[in-house]
Amino acid sequence: MINVQISIFSFYAARFILGMLAVASILSIAFFIERMIFFRKRLLKDATPLLKQIERAESTMDLKRIMAGCKKAETDIILMALNGSLSSSDIFVKRVDGFFYTEKEKWNRYSTFLGSVGSNAPFVGLLGTVFGILKAFVDLSLTTTGGPQVVMAGISEALIATAAGLMVAIPAVVFFNLCKVRVKKSVVNLQSMVAFISAKNFFKSKSLHRNHTNKPRTRPTSLLHKVN
């Protein structure tokens, strides 16, 4: 009696695991497509044209006009940072960091899910294989005829779960890496624009200049460099 219950449980457990893998695969593809659409609409593909415009800018008003004309996530961050009281490049960089940290969650959306699927799907598939093999041996104990053919048929069916786990994990890892690379590229674009703007010295306060004429200048440090 217990063998029959184990066989039934293993049968449905293996099918449930295959269903989980199918759902994870569909969600991974859907989330990846959504990310690609988001990246295409909201993130800069190439910051070189903007850097040339920033180089030609002669005031913060020119910078605001350039950023407002682009309407991308990176330029929106810089535009929000420019819309404030800026007495030095350090303050500008800190404002960019602050707005960036609220925006980066949108950039990394679904990355945790894709990474989790990529790292755990093979083990989930292996669990399904274990249940399948367990069912095969239980069926063998309940069958008086058939011999090794019963076991071989059950094991071959059980290995489908392992194959399914790998088929789900490999694309998920690829999707995860593509998303991370795209986000890193946008962070580099943002860093480049911040560095060009800071070098223009539009935010230098006259009073601070008088009080610190003899002090060595320090380069603004951005927390963006610490973000992966």
Query: pLDDT (tens digit, 9 = 90+) per residue, 42-69?
Result: 999 888 999 999 999 888 899 999 999 9
- Rounded CA separation 28/40 (Å): 18
CA distances from 153 to 12, 135, 137, 143, 149 (A): 17, 11, 11, 13, 6
The enclosing H or E element of 71 equals none
> pLDDT band at residue 147, thresholds of 50, 70 and 90?
low
Q: What is the largest CA-CA distance in the chain?
A: 98
Nearest Cα to Cα of residue 16 among 115, 132, 119, 114: 132
**For residue 144, what pLDDT band results from cuts at 50, 70 and 90?**
low
pLDDT value of position 149? 72
8 A C-beta contact, residue 76 and residue 44: no
Q: Which helix (H) or strand (E) holds 213?
A: none
Instruction: Work out the percent of the chain whose per-residue pLDDT is above 90.
Output: 46
Asked whether the predicted pLDDT for residue 178 surpasses 90, the reply is yes
Are 172 and 122 spatial neighbours (Cβ–Cβ below 8 Å)?
A: no
Res 207: pLDDT:
40
The answer to whether residue 86 scores a pLDDT higher than 70 is yes
Q: Which two tokens stand for residue 5?
A: 């219950």
- Mean pLDDT for the chain overall: 84
Q: Are 122 and 165 in contact (CB under 8 A)?
A: yes
CA atoms of 187 and 74, how far apart (whole Å): 8
Task: Dig out the tokens for 32 from the structure.
Answer: 């990846």
Note the pLDDT of residue 6.
78
